[in-house]
Amino acid sequence: MAAWRDDLVTRMTEVRKAQSQMIVREKIGEALAELVTDELPEPLVAAEMNERLQDMAMRLQAQGLSLEQWLQFSGTDTEQFLDDLKTTAERSARVDLALRSIALAEAIEALEEDLDLEFEAVAARVQQDSDVVRTQLVDAGHLPALKTDISKRKALDWLTESVTITDEAGNSIVFADLAVADDEDGDTVPETPASEEDETE
């Protein structure tokens, strides 16, 4: 019973840590979007909207629904849906541009080992050999886009490690150790990282 409880606590801690890190990344994304004040190229926004539409359509299709059916069942106005989608796409495009700029300024790029990890991850999802996946992606001309995506992810990782994160008490928090603990009132507050001594116990 004690082992089961310890395992459950560990799992919950990891979930809360992931949730906390996701919130931090979202906040950083919001801040990045506000920094890009230039007018966005319409093709960039249109491409982002199209990608999001396709992704949503695929997820709905997996549930046996079409986009039209979802709009009808959810009572969502088509025009409002497209307006919201455009707003989200514009924000995403601004974050995209900001991360590209950071990657360029900090000379952050996709290394060969980064590509190997990406190919292995894709291969695991589609249950194919990583060399086969590499050949398919290269032959299809997807390598430049893949390198760009990796460099942007690495730029975001670099940024999350560079910014100063503080809790409500003003204590600095290391992003990698970020977790959330329940306080006595039932609220969730950022938990400061454990000391090195605690980690080794």
Instruction: Look at residue 131 and tell me if it is in a domain.
Output: yes
**pTM exceeds cut of 0.75:** no
Quote the domain boundaries for residue 146.
110-164
Instruction: Look at residue 31 and tell me if it is in a domain.
Output: no
What is residue 195's DSSP assignment?
P
Q: What are phi and psi of 188, to 5 degrees?
A: -105, 135
Instruction: Look at residue 85 and tell me if it is in a domain.
Output: no
Tally the domains of the chain.
1
Instruction: Look at residue 89 and tell me if it is in a domain.
Output: no
Within 7-99, strands assigned E span none
Q: What is the mean pLDDT of each successive set of 10 residues along the chain, which is 201 residues long?
A: 70 71 77 84 89 90 90 90 92 90 92 93 90 92 92 89 70 59 38 39 44
Q: In one letter, which amino acid is 31?
A: A
What is residue 127's DSSP assignment?
T
At 175 the pLDDT is: 64
Instruction: Look at residue 139 and tell me if it is in a domain.
Output: yes
Cβ within 8 Å of residue 165, ≥6 positions away: 24, 172, 173, 174, 175, 178, 190
Instruction: Look at residue 3 and tell me if it is in a domain.
Output: no
